[in-house]
């Protein structure tokens, strides 16, 4: 049986921003900014640095959650700026 219809289950868009933020203990707004970007005053002030598995539905895959975890660790544990990442 092919439960995933030929797709890698790690790449399926299963997580919303709130759920992923909860698992990662990262603010939802931060996670959303990493994947969608952020607008301030009508202009994009922050471009996304990660690509969600399903941009239209704003859903993340397991791989996306791992990417965000690594990005968070680089920022917090190793104190590397987002620009350097």
> pLDDT value at position 14?
94
> pLDDT value at position 35?
96
> pLDDT value at position 84?
85
Q: Are 57 and 64 in contact (CB under 8 A)?
A: no
Q: How far is Cα 60 from Cα 21, in angstroms, rounded to an integer?
A: 11
> pLDDT value at position 44?
67
Nearest one of 76, 23, 35 to 59, comparing CA atoms: 35
Q: Write phi, then psi, for 30 (nearest 5 degrees).
A: -65, -45
pLDDT along the chain (85 residues), means of 10: 85 96 96 91 82 96 98 93 84
């Amino acid at each position: 049986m092919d439960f995933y219809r030929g797709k890698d289950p790690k790449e399926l868009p299963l997580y919303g921003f709130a759920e992923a933020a909860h698992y990662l203990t990262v603010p939802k707004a931060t996670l959303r900014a990493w994947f969608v970007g952020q607008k301030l005053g009508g202009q994009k002030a922050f471009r996304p640095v990660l690509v969600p598995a399903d941009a239209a539905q704003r859903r993340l895959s397991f791989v996306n959650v791992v990417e965000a975890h690594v990005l968070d660790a680089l920022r917090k544990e190793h104190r590397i700026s987002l620009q350097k990442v």
